[in-house]
Amino acid sequence: AQSVTQLGSHVSVSEGALVLLRCNYSSSVPPYLFWYVQYPNQGLQLLLKYTTGATLVKGINGFEAEFKKSETSFHLTKPSAHMSDAAEYFCAVSEEGSGNTGKLIFGQGTTLQVKP
């Protein structure tokens, strides 16, 4: 069974500082990995995804994440935080391969606070 663990339910950084949100996954098959962002009272927006190929993936709004199979991790980073980055972030995993359901298994989320 697949699962996702996000370390730290709340992360606070100063504007301009590095953002690091941690995600570890468990999967018995090669995973597809995702980061989503959710603003208050809104649905989820895809930030970036890893399916195959390059393990360092770049997403929208300056975010990137690196798939490390040996560490079963997919941490999200951004070099310089902006006030508009304050939101809830979810890491998710899905199964690879044809015939898959595509259903997403989410972590519990990390709230990012950005201080001026």
Partner 1 sequence: DTGVSQDPRHKITKRGQNVTFRCDPISEHNRLYWYRQTLGQGPEFLTYFQNEAQLEKSRLLSDRFSAERPKGSFSTLEIQRTEQGDSAMYLCASSLVKRDRAFAEQFFGPGTRLTVL
Least CB distance from residue 16 to partner 1, whole Å? 28
28 binds partner 1 (CB under 8 A): no
- 91-116 burial, b if ≥16 CB within 10 A, otherwise e? bbbbbeeeeeeeebbebebbebebee
- Which of 22, 64, 66, 109 lies at the binding interface for partner 1 (CB under 8 A)? 109
**85 or 95, CB closer to partner 1?**
95
Separation of alpha carbons 11 and 19, rounded Å: 9
Separation of alpha carbons 116 and 98, rounded Å: 46
- Residue window 29-68: x/- pattern of binding to partner 1, with contact defined by CB under 8 A: ---x---x----xxxxxx--x-x-----------------
Collect all residues with Cβ–Cβ distance below 8 Å to 1 and sequence separation of at least 6. 26, 28
Residues that bind partner 1 (CB under 8 A): 4, 9, 32, 36, 41-46, 49, 51, 90, 92, 94, 96-98, 100-109
